[in-house]
Amino acid sequence: MRIEQPSDIVATVDGMYASDLIAAVVTEFDLFTWLEGRGRADTEEIAGHFELDERAVDVTVTYLVAAGLLHRLADQSVEPTKIARSHLVAGAGPDDLRLYFGMASERPGCLELVDVLRTGEPAPFGSARRGQQWLARMATTPFANQFSAGMDARGRFLAPHAATALAGVDYRRVLDIGGSTGAYSCALVDARPGSAATVLELPTVVELSRTLVRERGFGDRVDVVAGDMFEPLPTDYDVHFYSHVLHDWDAASIHRLAANSYAALPPGGWLVDHDVHINDSKTGPLAAAAFSIWMMHVTRGKCWSRPELARILSAVGFTDIADHPTAAGCTAIVARKG
C-alpha cells in the first residue's frame, strides 16, 4: 500500500498482524487445502473441524474474504478463490507457495495467533515479552500513559470528523465512556456551543487526561472522572459516546454496556459507537478486517459489523439505528432510546 494520506498511516499500524495470520492458517492448519477438498464450509464448521475458537475463526474468515483468498457465498459458507486454489492448496505443483510462508511461521505474531485461534485467549499486548494481556497492563500507570498517548494521536486526527458526523444529533451533555485522553470530548464540545462532556476512564488514565484537556483549553467544559463502565452509569447525560471501545469486548459484554447506557440515558438520548466496522456482508473493507485481527490478538473482541451491533442494541431497546462515515474507515453508529 502506498501511503498518501493520514488514514493510510493509521491503516499501516492497524494491519500489522495480517501477514502473520495468513502464515498461521497456511502453515499450521493448511486451511485452503482442507477447504478445497471439502468444497465449502461455514465458520462453525471450520471451528469445529480444527477445534478452534469461533470468534477467532470469524475474524480470520472475514479477513481472508476481504483479502481475496476466500469467497463468501450467500449461505455464509466460504470457498477458496482462484488465486488461493492456484497457490495455497496441496497439489498446485510448481505454483504451490505454501512453503514460502514457513519462513514466517516462527514469528511471535504468527505463533501467538495460532494460540488465539486455538484458545480464544488474548495474547500479550504488542507481543511483549513481559507476557501480560492488554487489560492487565492498563492497570499500571506507565503502560497506561504510553497506550493512551497512542490513542490520543489517533483521536486528535479522528475526533473532529466524528464531531462533524454527529451534527444531526442533539446533545448538551456527553458521557465519553472509555474516552482515553479526552480528544473526542474536546472535539464534541468545540463543535456544539454550550455543551459539556465528562470522560469516564480507568484511574491510571485520569491524570494524563485531565492534563491534556486543560492544555487544550477545555478544562472548564470537559471533566475527567475515574470509574467502571460496567457499573451503573450517571443519569445526567443525553449522549453516551464510545469510541474504539466496543471492539475490545465480546457480545455479552457489549450487551451489558448497552444495557447500562440504556438504563442511564433519558428518553430520546443517544448511544454512539464510533469505531472501525465490518461491512454488512462481512466481506471487508480490507483495512477494517485487518484491524480486526489486531483486536482478536489482544482483546476478547473484534471489529463488529453494523448488523451484529444492531441486534445487540435492538435487544436492549434502542431504535433508529443508523451509521455515519467519519474518517480513516471509521463510522459512527448512533442509536436512540425511545
What is the reported pLDDT for 129? Answer: 65
- C-alpha of 190 from chain center: 26
What is the reported pLDDT for 118? Answer: 98
Q: What is the spatial distance between Cα 230 and Cα 79, in angstroms, rounded to a whole number?
A: 40
- C-alpha of 108 from chain center: 21
Nearest CA to 180 out of 224, 148, 207 is that of 148
Mean pLDDT of the chain: 96
Residue count of the chain: 338
**Look-up of cell digits 482442507:** 34
Q: What is the spatial distance between Cα 309 and Cα 313, in angstroms, rounded to a whole number?
A: 6
Tally of CB atoms within 10 A around 146: 12
**pLDDT tens-place string over residues 214-266:** 999 999 999 999 999 999 999 999 999 999 999 999 999 999 999 999 999 99
Q: Model-level pTM?
A: 0.95
Tally of CB atoms within 10 A around 126: 18
Residue 201 confidence class, pLDDT cut points 50, 70, 90? very high
Alpha helices in the chain (DSSP H): 6-14, 18-27, 31-38, 43-50, 54-66, 82-87, 108-119, 134-137, 141-165, 183-191, 203-215, 251-264, 286-298, 306-316
What is the reported pLDDT for 132? Answer: 79
What is the reported pLDDT for 241? Answer: 98
